[in-house]
Amino acid sequence: MIDHTRDLTSVHEATERLLAAAATLDDAAVAAPSALPGWTRGHVLAHLSRNADALVNVLRGLPMYPSAEAREADIERDAGRPLAAQLEDLRASAERFRAEGDAPADWGRTVELRNGVTDLAARVPFRRLVEVELHHVDLGVGYELEDLPKEFTEREIDFLTERFAGHKDVPATTVVAEDGRTWTTGGGADGGPVTVRGTAADLLGWLAGRRDGSALAVPDGTLPALPPL
């Protein structure tokens, strides 16, 4: 059962953690590379601000972004700002998203995201939580995949394995965490079945494109190459 109210609370808490961590940086650190290739920490922070506003658009039934080009241009425009401006924008945009989430609405309706993707409105708060949590890790400020809340990690593995289910480029794959929890994914490509085992953090890192999977065990084959998200 999706609990959008609980997810909105989690988004707020995760945002406060991220803001506190980012506040320890200085302008030089904001301009330094993040863990995402080609992006500085400023790019990550700018993206988070613009994503909050984009998800407000989604909840209002508007296009998420005017275009892919406009999305990229806005991130580039805002990436080079000093820390104080980044923090002010991130907090203000987060408050706009929170206010929209608190407004009376039909959370069972279908909304449209980027590239024609649709989802229930009730899933939007979790989608925002994913952005905040994973990009907090991407900032490279000491917050690692292992530090993510356990429930979040499991839910995001649920989401990503569902996303890759039946994918034409992914063979049938069983994903097994150390605690015994199991997911199935892929199935659209030749080869397999293959089993991938590891810690929940390493599995999430592989599925989300944050780790290369070298820490995972694949006893019956080769680690599948996953398409970009």
pLDDT in tens, 159-175: 999 999 999 999 999 99
Task: Please tell me the predicted confidence (pLDDT) of residue 191.
Answer: 86
CA 21 from chain centre, in angstroms, equals 18
Please state, in angstroms and rounded to a whole number, the distance separating the CA atoms of residues 219 and 223. Answer: 9
Q: Give the per-residue pLDDT at 61.
A: 97
User: What pLDDT, on a 0 to 100 scale, did the predictor assign at position 123?
Assistant: 98
Element holding 182 (H helix, E strand): strand 182-185
Reported as half-sphere exposure (CB side, CA atoms, 13 A), residue 114 has a value of 12
Residue 158 CA: distances (Å) to CA of 63, 163, 209: 27, 9, 15
Q: What is the DSSP letter of 175?
A: E
Tell which residue, 70, 124, 68, has the closest CA to residue 97: 124
Cβ–Cβ < 8 Å for 200, 150 = yes
Predicted local distance difference test score (pLDDT) of residue 150:
96
List strand residue ranges (DSSP E) for 38-162, in order: 110-112, 118-120
Per-residue tokens: 9: 């609370």
What is the model's pTM? 0.96
- Tens digits of per-residue pLDDT, 212-224? 999 999 998 899 9
- Residue appearing with tokens 């199991």: 182
- Of all helices (H) and strands (E), which one includes residue 184? strand 182-185
Query: C-alpha 201: how far from its chain's center?
Result: 14
The pLDDT value given to residue 129: 98
Residue 13, pLDDT > 90, answer: yes
